[in-house]
């Protein structure tokens, strides 16, 4: 006989309690109900999406990107007007106004500051720590993870190359094996290619304290991304999200994962033409490097805000193949949590074989 409704409810409560225990360190650190962070995506992770993630029980993160201090102050205030729950701010360490941006965060009582894009400067770390705010940093390897913790990081994100946007060379599968068993000092959140609860559960059981999702949230109902940008996600498969290609090692290209389009094909042609001009003596090396770097200037905004998904930069992770339709943020989080709970249920209470019929 199948279990009665009361039994099923009790079993689900047990599974949910088990999930809560697995990411309790993460929820306690972030101050939210589920240890799911929103990835900081320029032009996308702004007041609407960030507040929606926090209001749904997760942890939204504003992407400061190239904002100047007054712009960031306005964005933080607008987000605080939409949610009374915790959220963070992601700052790029190379930003020329980094110190001022940190002061803006602290003045607005932002409790968690993410320093990304390089080793956080000592002065920035001290400013965050002295204020009592929590510092989150990105670690691409175990040796750097340990160094970041020693320097004051309160939590780490390890992001695999499956992620969208700017990426490192190592997959999350490998990073997790390298870092999670050996680093217990601070909470560690996993990121890159994550779209389902079962996958998140597997990393929690390895020692992660939570997970960061970007691509699924980028196409959410509350995302301000252009409808054509979102539709490109719904049509795409994992193999369509590829890193940018470098033609010549003399002219480095920062790897960025996005959907292949006319822009990515033209970028290869642009590199080849720039290389030809350099070899002919028409361009000096520095000028040629700038020619390559400037190709994508404004391309992300064109894609996200203007909907130019043909020549713009449609940054997306390999989990884009799991984005099938537009969903509200709360539905995405509930779905991911439900998948993790169902996986735990199946293990603790495996289905019983049906009695033979006569």
Q: Which pLDDT score is estimated for 326?
A: 97
Count Cβ neighbours within 10 Å for each residue of 300-334 and write b for 16 or more, e otherwise. Answer: bebbbeebbbebbbbbbbbbbbbbeebbebbebbb
Secondary element (H or E) of residue 159: strand 155-159
**H helices within 219-261, ranges in order?**
227-235
Q: Which pLDDT score is estimated for 354?
A: 62
Q: Please answer whether residues 340 and 200 qualify as being in contact, where contact means their C-beta atoms are separated by less than 8 angstroms.
A: yes
Q: Which pLDDT score is estimated for 90?
A: 98
Residue 144 has phi, psi (to 5 degrees) of: -75, -35
Domains along the sequence of the chain with CATH: 7-226+323-348 (3.20.20.70), 237-304 (no CATH)
Element counts in the chain: helices (H) and strands (E): 15, 11
| CA distance to 79, 145, 166, 256, 322, per residue, from 174 (Å) | 35, 14, 18, 19, 21
Q: What is the distance between the alpha carbons of residues 217 and 222, in angstroms, rounded to a whole number?
A: 8
- State the burial class of residue 126 (Cβ atoms within 10 Å of its Cβ: 0-12, 13-18, 19+): middle
Q: pTM, whole model, 2 decimals?
A: 0.93
Q: Which pLDDT score is estimated for 106?
A: 98
Query: How crowded is residue 60: how many other Cβ atoms within 10 Å of its Cβ?
Result: 31
Q: What is the distance between the alpha carbons of residues 342 and 17, in angstroms, rounded to a whole number?
A: 12
Residue 134 has phi, psi (to 5 degrees) of: -95, 135
Sequence length of the chain is 358
pLDDT digits (tens, 9 = 90+) for 285-302: 999 999 999 999 899 999
Closest CA to 210 of 353, 340, 68, 35: 35
Residue-level pLDDT, tens digit, the chain, 358 residues: 455 566 667 889 999 999 999 999 999 999 999 999 999 999 999 999 999 999 999 999 999 999 999 999 999 999 999 999 999 999 999 999 999 999 999 999 999 999 999 899 999 999 999 999 999 999 999 999 999 999 999 999 999 999 999 999 999 999 999 999 999 999 999 999 999 999 999 999 999 999 999 999 999 999 999 999 999 999 999 999 999 999 999 999 989 999 999 999 999 999 999 999 999 999 999 999 999 999 998 999 999 999 999 999 999 999 999 999 999 999 999 999 999 999 999 987 776 666 566 5
Query: How crowded is residue 86: how many other Cβ atoms within 10 Å of its Cβ?
Result: 15
Q: Which pLDDT score is estimated for 358?
A: 53
Q: What is the distance between the alpha carbons of residues 160 and 175, in angstroms, rounded to a whole number?
A: 7
**H helices within the chain, ranges in order?**
5-22, 24-30, 47-55, 69-82, 98-107, 122-131, 142-151, 172-179, 197-206, 215-218, 227-235, 262-279, 285-293, 299-304, 329-348
């Amino acid at each position: 006989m199948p279990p009665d409704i009361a039994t099923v409810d009790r079993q689900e409560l047990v599974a949910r309690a088990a999930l809560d225990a697995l990411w309790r360190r993460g929820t306690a650190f972030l101050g939210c109900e589920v240890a799911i962070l929103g990835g900081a995506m320029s032009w996308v992770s702004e007041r609407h999406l960030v507040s929606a993630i926090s209001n749904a029980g997760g942890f939204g993160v504003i992407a400061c990107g190239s904002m100047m201090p007054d712009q960031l102050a306005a964005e933080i205030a607008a987000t605080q007007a939409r949610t009374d729950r915790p959220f963070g701010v992601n700052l790029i360490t190379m930003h020329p106004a980094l110190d001022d941006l940190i002061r803006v965060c602290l003045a607005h009582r932002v409790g968690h500051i993410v320093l990304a894009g390089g080793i956080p400067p000592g002065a920035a770390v001290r400013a965050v720590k002295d204020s009592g705010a929590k510092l989150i940093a990105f670690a691409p390897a175990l040796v750097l993870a340990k160094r970041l913790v020693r320097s004051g990081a309160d939590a780490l994100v390890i992001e695999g190359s499956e992620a969208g946007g700017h990426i490192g060379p190592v997959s999350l599968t490998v990073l997790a094996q390298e870092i999670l068993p050996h680093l217990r000092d601070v909470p560690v959140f996993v990121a890159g290619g994550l779209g389902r609860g079962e996958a998140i559960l597997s990393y929690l059981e390895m020692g992660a304290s939570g997970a960061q999702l970007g691509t699924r949230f980028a196409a959410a109902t509350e995302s301000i991304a252009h409808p054509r940008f979102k539709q490109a996600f719904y049509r795409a498969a994992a193999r369509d999200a590829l890193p940018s290609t470098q033609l010549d090692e003399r002219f480095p290209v920062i790897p960025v994962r996005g959907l292949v389009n006319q822009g990515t094909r033209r970028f290869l042609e642009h590199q080849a033409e720039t290389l030809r001009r350099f070899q002919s003596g028409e361009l000096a090396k520095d000028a040629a490097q700038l020619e390559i770097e400037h190709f994508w200037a404004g391309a992300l905004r064109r894609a996200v805000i203007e909907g130019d998904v043909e020549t713009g930069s449609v940054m997306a992770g390999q989990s884009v193949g799991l984005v099938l339709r537009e969903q509200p943020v709360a539905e995405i989080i509930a779905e991911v949590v439900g998948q993790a709970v169902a996986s735990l249920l199946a293990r603790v209470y495996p289905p019983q074989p049906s009695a033979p019929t006569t």
